[in-house]
A and B are shown apart, each in its own frame.
Chain A
């Protein structure tokens, strides 16, 4: 049985700037956090561990239950994020792909535009309370 050969990975020899940069970031961040830890004062008072040490009193837990709508928006973000990944892959090779590639991407984006309009139409992109409704109610109130 033949041995599987690891697809040979080729590393450039002169990547030391990248490594230097990475090390610099780590050291700098370490110094900043470490120094404030060493030099900072320590005290243990009544409000030390509250979210707003010198502000208002906390009225309740931050663990409120949010509307599922926020999750939907986050999900849309991930999906359109993915779409962007594919379009970027095409854009990098744009010059070589020419018009055939352009048509391919137009179909891809067209499908997703249709669904974006659909989301808009059914109100999946509406955030929070309906502003128009509130304004209308206010006018009637006056």
Chain B
């Protein structure tokens, strides 16, 4: 158990505990704020995996953007802050079967079937952003341009739904 393991368990604990509260809290504002810690914990895990660019994007887009959007949504909806979320459960049996199957596969294959090891080296980790940027423009350039069109659609769609009537 070295220092990295401790940091890993710290971030994992932050993620899991806050995710638990996101689901169980009855007040939607508390849910949203707990989501902040979930996103933050996941970003920490990305850093530990050496995925620095993804971690920065996680903080920038999810914490800085999407979470704000959720809070805006809460704020802009009349009297939602005091509303108790009604979470009725339907179709319990199929859901339990499905979740248990998926969880079983994941636990037995991923958790128990992987040789988890962390290698300690003296080589400084190189930033992944460079390689990512290069791939995005060379091998995946078509996806890059299509993402531009996808963002265009999202912008037009948002404006169409929320536009003022002519």
Contact = CB atoms under 8 A, between A and B. Distances in A.
| Touching chains A and B, CB distance < 8 Å | yes
Most chain A CB atoms below 10 A, which of B115, B131, B147, B158:
B158
Interface in A1-47: 3-6, 8-14, 19
A90 B133 CA distance: 5
Contacts of B129: 88-89, 92-93
A122 B163 contact: yes
Interface string A82-97: 1101101111111011
Interface in B103-132: 109-110, 113-125, 127, 129-132
A5 to B, nearest CB: 5
Given A81-B65, A97-B138, A12 B116 contact: no
Q: Is the interface of A mostly helix, strand, loop or mixed?
A: helix
A11 B162 contact: no
A119 interface: yes
Interface string B69-96: 1001101111101100000000000000
A9 B151 contact: no
A127 interface: no
Contacts of A104: 137, 141, 144-145
A20 B109 CA distance: 37
Contact of A115 (B109, B136, B144, B156): B156
Interface stretch (B14-22, B33-41, B53-61): B53-61
Contact of B133 (A70, A92, A112): A92
Contacts of A114: 152
Given A11-B125, A83-B151, A112-B151, A70 B72 contact: yes
A122 B76 contact: no
- Of B119, B122, B136, chain A has the most CB atoms within 10 Å of the CB of B136
Contacts, number: 171
Contacts of B7: 19
Contacts of B114: 3-6
Number of contact residues on B: which range applies? 35 or more
B159 interface: yes
Interface residues of A, number: 58
A97 B137 contact: yes
B132 A89 contact: yes
A135 interface: no
Given A74-B68, A90-B137, A93-B137, A11 B155 contact: no
A6 B48 CA distance: 13
17 contacts: A3-B113, A6-B115, A8-B117, A10-B121, A19-B3, A66-B76, A71-B72, A71-B162, A82-B65, A86-B144, A90-B137, A93-B133, A93-B134, A101-B137, A105-B137, A108-B147, A124-B159
Q: Which 10 A-B pairs rank lowest in CB-CB distance, beginning with the nearest?
A: A93-B133, A78-B65, A89-B133, A101-B137, A108-B148, A111-B148, A65-B78, A93-B134, A124-B159, A115-B152
